[in-house]
Amino acid sequence: MLNINETVSVEINQKIALICLDNPPVNAASQSLRNGLQKALIWASSQNGIGVIVIYGAGCTFVAGADIKEFGKPPLAPFLPDLVNEIEKIEIPLISVLHGTALGGGLEIALGTHARVGIIGLKVGLPEIHLGLLPGAGGTQRAPRLCGIPAALDMILSGKHIHAEDALEMGLIDKLYDGQPRDVALQAAQEVLIGQLETRRTDQIFAKSHHAHIDKVEAKLIKTHSHLFSPHKCVQAVRACLLPIAEGLHVERQAFEECMQTPQRAALIHVFFGERSVSRIPESKIAPRPVAHIGIIGAGTMGSGIATACLLAGLRVTLIENVQESLNKGRAKIEQNLNGSVKRGKLHAEKLPRTQSLLQPALGIEALDQVDLVVEAAFEDMNVKKEIFKELDSVCKPGAILASNTSYLDINEIAAVTSRPQDVIGLHFFSPAHVMRLLEIVVGRKTDPTVTATGFTLAKKLRKVGVKAGVCDGFIGNRLLAHYRKTAAYLVLDGAQPQQVDQALEDFGFAMGPHKVTDLAGLDIDWMNRKRKAPTRPKEERYSGEIADRICENGWFGRKTGQGYYLYEGRDVHTNPDIDVIINAERKKAGINVQKFNNKEIVKRYMTAMISEAVRVLEEQIAARPLDVDMVLVFGYGFPRHRGGPLHYADTLGPQELINRIETYAKEDSHYWRVPDMLRQMASDGTKFSDFNEKVAVWT
């Protein structure tokens, strides 16, 4: 065995040269790996008597792609596209053995080899689109040559992972084996030597022309994804696969470089690493408490969604309601959710009966005496919650975690009614709880670190993005929402139309404008919150709820009542003419001098409000790092992923621009628009939010 460098080694076994790539955790094609592989290939092909060279991966995977950490930094030779070209041109038959995942640049290395064999369980894919890129090491040229333009285009534009069996059928891999990578490498190499496994160079295959298909896909993308950059470049590059390969690779290279320069690429990579870094908190080093059996109080929409998420993760669930009818409804909802998961391919049909059997519906909290963790998802009212937690305190076994799914209420106050505040935590799920990725883990003053650690392990088990939040009204997400939602209300009071505000923000990239979101969530929820906060509302604060209050007084609560800011008829959505009447009356009553706002100004105000409140959340250490705020907004509030989150976006504007904007708006309303001290500090010392992401603040 010859160690070429710290990530690549070569071994000669008679006529076979075995090149092993070993760059944990995912064998990313870092500079070291590329350099080692290049040297290993030169060395192996210069040895006498070598009949076949095999590349395989050590550890749990082949190569999961280029090393994403290198993106945005000065490129280091050897470059992956050149290396793949060199691989393809090697005169000795050269094959790759793929196990675990072969993604992005990993699959592209394999496409350059002369045959690819897979090991059962393998998944392949070209997911670069999720990072604002395109396959830039020949993937757009070689994949269509192997599996045809429609299949390749679908794989590249969806970024999906393809199971080994499908990859075999598509022609992306040539044969499937069972076994360890090195053993399979030897076996497949022997088969090449005796002519049982054919090898051929991908660049010598011609892709079948499919211009009409490409045109159709392109036209659809222009309609649905005009705000994104890389999908259009993917299509452009795939179209070039009909050219001689050198020309096609040149087109791909240029398109890749263009994608690399975009802010969308930087934002999407921020989200990729943010999703993974967000659980890196001081408590992550502490052993969590074991959780196998969950209790859920409340079988409404939230409770049944949380129950579904837990069942899908293989946890036992005891679901509690007060009356049989509500319990039956909850059970039916869970059934419906599980069946939907089967339909969407999230749950294998054969696992459905076992998953269903993990659910135990029960009447009364006494049934929770043996659970490891309870999630209370009852009515959002402090007195209701306090009663439930008193009962839980007397029923639950010692060490059981008592969690509230409250969206706003004070976890410390809830914890204080129990004799075990150290076991109390907030687990704030988002509706529909079995679909939405975000889980806010709200840590109270007395919450034990093992309880926080368990919250994060549970999030991981449920495949959710857990974000640590401190206690305040609305924690991270709903606190920001309550603030920036006011901007939308002020804009409408002062002259914009709700549809215009929604359109401006959807054009910016939000999945839905704020009025559509409110209609979906139910206007009654905000109404209840406004009433709850009325006694503590500072008298200098401009009230933002006049229009929404009038709408609610009519009994129009949005989608569920068929009428809100919009009118709903089945799947059809129309503007609601009655809203204009309400808006005009309220403007008149308040003596408002109606202004005109263009869409750019709407986005500016909305984003500036969101960012200022996000900064205050950081100042108060409700969020530990800017990335925590970003992940909350991206995974729970429909914030456009390709903008990276409010504070990543804020870095693209810079603190001085934000200060200027806030000072301008403060001339209209100096209570709402205030410059956070942290922004002034950042402007004076030249720091960016990204500089704070490495630091972890500790709650006091």
Query: CA nearest 389: which of 423, 362, 429?
Result: 423
Counting contacts by CB under 6 A, is residue 276 touching ligand CAA? Answer: yes
Q: Of the listed pieces 36-44, 103-111, 281-289, 346-354, which binds ligand CAA according to CB under 6 A?
A: 103-111
Residue 128 annotated to the active site: yes
Q: Is 80 in the site for ligand CAA (CB under 6 A)?
A: yes
Interaction between residue 645 and ligand CAA (CB under 6 A):
no
Interaction of residue 312 with ligand CAA, rule CB under 6 A: no
Chain-centre distance for alpha carbon 509: 15
Nearest distance, CB of residue 217 and ligand CAA, angstroms = 20
The least CB distance from residue 232 to ligand CAA, in Å, is: 17
Torsional sign, CA 462, 466, 471, 472:
negative
Task: Tell which residue, 295, 299, 338, 297, has the closest CA to residue 315.
Answer: 295
- How far, CA to CA in Å, does 589 sit from each of 487, 541, 546, 585? 20, 18, 10, 6
Q: Residue 122, interface with ligand CAA (CB under 6 A)?
A: no
Question: 6, 11, 128, 569: which is the annotated catalytic residue?
Answer: 128
Closest CA to 139 of 268, 24, 241: 241
Residue 135, interface with ligand CAA (CB under 6 A)?
A: yes
Q: Does 167 bind ligand CAA (CB under 6 A)?
A: no
Whether the Cβ atoms of residue 347 and residue 309 lie closer than 8 Å to each other: no
Q: Of 28 and 240, which has the nearer Cβ to ligand CAA?
A: 28
Interface pick for ligand CAA out of 41, 68, 157, 480 (rule CB under 6 A): 68
Q: Is 105 in the site for ligand CAA (CB under 6 A)?
A: yes
Residue from 8, 16, 20, 28 binding ligand CAA (CB under 6 A)? 28
User: 376 catalytic, yes or no?
Assistant: no
Q: Between 491 and 520, how does the x/- string for binding to ligand CAA read (CB under 6 A)? A: ------------------------------
Q: 14: which 2 tokens?
A: 């008679």
Could you tell me the smallest distance in angstroms from the CB atom of residue 152 to ligand CAA?
14
Query: From the list 23, 101, 341, 608, which residue makes contact with ligand CAA (rule: CB under 6 A)?
Result: 101
- Rounded to whole angstroms, how far apart are CA atoms 643 and 629? 13
Ranges assigned E (strand) in 394-549:
401-404, 424-429, 438-442, 465-469
Place of tokens 């995912």: 26
| Least spacing, CB of residue 341 vs ligand CAA, in Å | 20
Give, as one character, the DSSP assignment of residue 288.
P
Query: Could you identify the residue written with the tokens 């392990």?
Result: 457
DSSP, residue by residue, 83-144: HHHHHHH-SS-EEEEE-SEEETHHHHHHHHSSEEEEETT-EEE-GGGGGT---TTTHHHHHH
Smallest gap from Cβ 202 to ligand CAA, in A, equals: 16
Distance of CA 339 to the CA centre of its chain: 24
- Match 């939907």 to its residue by tokens: 340
Going by the DSSP 8-state scheme, the letter that residue 667 receives in this structure is T
Cα dihedral 207→211→212→215 (10° resolution):
120
Q: Does 26 contact ligand CAA by CB under 6 A?
A: yes
| Count of residues that interact with ligand CAA, criterion CB under 6 A | 23
Calpha distance 548→553 (Å, rounded):
9
Closest CB 129 distance from ligand CAA, rounded Å: 9
CB of 423 to ligand CAA, least distance (A): 29
Among 1, 25, 535, 540, binds ligand CAA (CB under 6 A): 25
Tokens representing 669 are 């309303």
67-75, 287-295, 300-308, 322-330 -> range binding ligand CAA (CB under 6 A): 67-75
Positions in the binding site for ligand CAA (CB under 6 A): 25-26, 28, 64-69, 80, 101, 103-105, 108, 127-128, 131, 133, 135-137, 276
Active site residues: 108, 128
